[in-house]
Amino acid sequence: MNILITGTSSGIGNSLAREYLEKGDRVFGISRNFSDSLKKYADYHHLSHDLSVHAELEQRLRQLLNGTNALDRVILSAGVLPAINDMRDTSMEEIRRVMDVNVWANKMLLDALFKLIPQIHQVVAISSGASRSGARGWNVYAISKAALNSLVRLYADEIPETHFSAMAPGVVETGMQDYIFSLPDDERFPVVNRLKEMKRKKQMKDPREAAADLIGAMEIAMQRESGSYIDVREL
């Protein structure tokens, strides 16, 4: 299969890339940095690009995908987490930054891909339970993931020949959780205290385990209505 994944430098995106490569698939990865863990794979093709920078994206994708006429799966895994805080204490500058990366960069990427590639079978956007819970502290992260869910639904209606889904992987031990664990306890944000307790008790999924679960869920997603939001924990 031909797989394109964003956010391959670390976390879930990196683990997804390795899972596919070890199955013998060809992976096109996009991230700001090139991970040493992917250097050994001959079928890994990398584009170093900051997705918040929209200039030249289509041209650089054309170079990355030269000779590729179809993508079996596009996985939108890149994203950023703002500081845990109340909305009223979150600056408009921070809101714009997070929305740009978590939502609008995905729109720009999809628009470029559908111009360049005649056939794209499936698109999966990595969402979050925060898109539904709206728990205090998630601020613009929750908003951006809810908007991503809506973006997926809109594209599903516009491009019926491609299957779309937004998928929440559950709680995964990534750099995001390391940041949350470093925060002091704060009674305003129960979600932070709960996640810190999960990390202490080693109740979070390893990224490789989460990647394997996601790949299985992506197959199941094809049986669901295009544009659906899917929480892997509920499958």
Averaged pLDDT for residues 161-180: 92
- Residue 177 has a pLDDT of 85
Q: Give the chain's domains with CATH numbers.
A: 2-170+208-234 (3.40.50.720)
pTM confidence score = 0.94
Contact indicator for 3, 29 with CB cutoff of 8 Å = no
* Residue 226 confidence (pLDDT) above 90: yes
How does pLDDT run across 13-63, given as a tens digit for each residue?
Answer: 999 999 999 999 999 999 999 999 999 999 999 999 998 888 889 999 999
* Residue 178 confidence (pLDDT) above 90: no
- CA dihedral for 213, 3, 140, 226, sign (positive or negative): negative
- Residue 113 has a pLDDT of 97
Averaged pLDDT for residues 176-184: 88
CA distance 77 to 88: 28
Average pLDDT, the chain: 94
